[in-house]
Amino acid sequence: MNRRDFDVIVAGAGAAGLMCAIRAGQRGRRVLLLDHADKVGKKILISGGGRCNFTNLLSRPEAFLSGNPHFCKSALARYTQHDFIALVDKHRIAWHEKTLGQLFCDGSARQIVAMLLAEGEAAGVDVRAAHRITGIEKADCFTVNTDQGAFTAASLVLATGGLSIPKMGATGFAHDVARRFGLELTEPRPALVPFTLKVPELSGVSLEVVAHLGRVGFREAMLFTHRGLSGPAILQISSYWREGQEISIDLLPDTNADAFLKERKRTRPKAELRTVLAELLPQRLAQSLAPDGTMANLRDRDLETLAARLKAWKIVPSGTEGYAKAEVTVGGIDTDGLSSRTMEARKVPGLYAIGEAVDVTGWLGGYNFQWAWSSGWVAGEAV
């Protein structure tokens, strides 16, 4: 066997690809990990503001979107958030829980990349950055042609991610290869992404809300921007949104707005409505939402109408900020064509797909990293 022949070639050295290569190497497989970027783990390095929100304590199948909601269950059960936390602890990387189960490094995301590279080195993984794949062929085995020459292997793992954040080098490579080998795709679209729409000029104003789309709701912060709305609550609901759908936003999650306004009408009749609203809402938003007038001059019917609007502010986004601002891609390689236990393509023996390239997308807050670790690990167990 020469240095261009391997048991496994993993295309893409992000979170999923690194984990897959490590696990396969630990099992004694000869693994080549290729990436077109000049260094590995670029998305890991920028995640969580540079501190890497590496998993979520509450990770569970219900926190993932997919055409088949059951598909993710096997991988998530076989390599859990607690398994990854144990790996982080083994490397003595200090971490903390921020909110809602989100775990971050105390220090830098570079520690996570260094940990994965150290594990890969210990497992004998051959990591080669700055290798652009120019073509893939399959006869008895896979031949992967690159701008640095050709490599062969019995197994090929597609781990190049989705279309989000193209400035980091994201492409549709995995989708294109899957399509060429006859795998179906669920239509990809940007997810965890800000909305564009005409809203009051309140850029920089943020508040805690509950954003609803049908039966799905998220209680987190919302942020007004120059182009529309962002913040965690909006990013979360964006993964479920389709063009033309209406979103309902509760601007006062803990308040009976109707009762509050009527009570203030009795106790502060001379107060301006905008002053009263500013007790509960950011001042600029209160001024934007409130008609002129004192509480005494407002009919109960007007207060009821305003209360209903505050509890269910209806918006129909004109669109999203697109892949440039999307944290992940919804959709991708259709799970019907893959084994949920191994991530292998049912009709193409030896071909695997993992991570964001697959039609499994997690909520904001470390869930997508957990899917990368879990799907990468189970593929690494199988190759």
What is the crossing angle of helices 367-382 and 81-90, to 10°?
Answer: 90
| Closest alpha carbon to 53 in 12, 13, 115, 112 | 112
CA 116 from chain centre, in angstroms, equals: 20
Which pLDDT does position 363 carry in this prediction?
98
pTM exceeds cut of 0.75: yes
Q: Which two tokens stand for residue 63?
A: 């926190």
Which pLDDT does position 171 carry in this prediction?
86
Q: CA–CA separation, 378 vs 342, rounded Å?
A: 6
303-336 as b/e, with b when 16 or more CB fall inside 10 Å? beebbeebbebebebeebbebebbbbbbbbbbbe
Which pLDDT does position 29 carry in this prediction?
98
Which pLDDT does position 58 carry in this prediction?
97
CA of 130: how far to CAs of 67, 158, 172, in Å? 34, 17, 18
CA of 231: how far to CAs of 58, 210, 364, in Å? 20, 12, 11
First to last CA, the chain: 18
Q: What is the mean pLDDT of each run of 10 residues along the chain (383 residues)?
A: 85 98 98 96 93 97 98 98 98 96 98 98 97 96 97 97 84 94 97 95 97 97 97 98 98 97 96 96 95 93 96 98 96 98 98 98 98 98 98
Phi first, then psi: what are they for 338, rounded to 5°?
Answer: -120, 155
Which pLDDT does position 1 carry in this prediction?
46
Angle at 157 between CA 156 and CA 161, to 5 degrees: 145
Which pLDDT does position 52 carry in this prediction?
96
Q: Which two tokens stand for residue 35?
A: 């990436």
Which pLDDT does position 3 carry in this prediction?
77
Please tell me whether residue 111 adopts helix, strand or coil conformation. helix
Q: Which two tokens stand for residue 20?
A: 């897959």
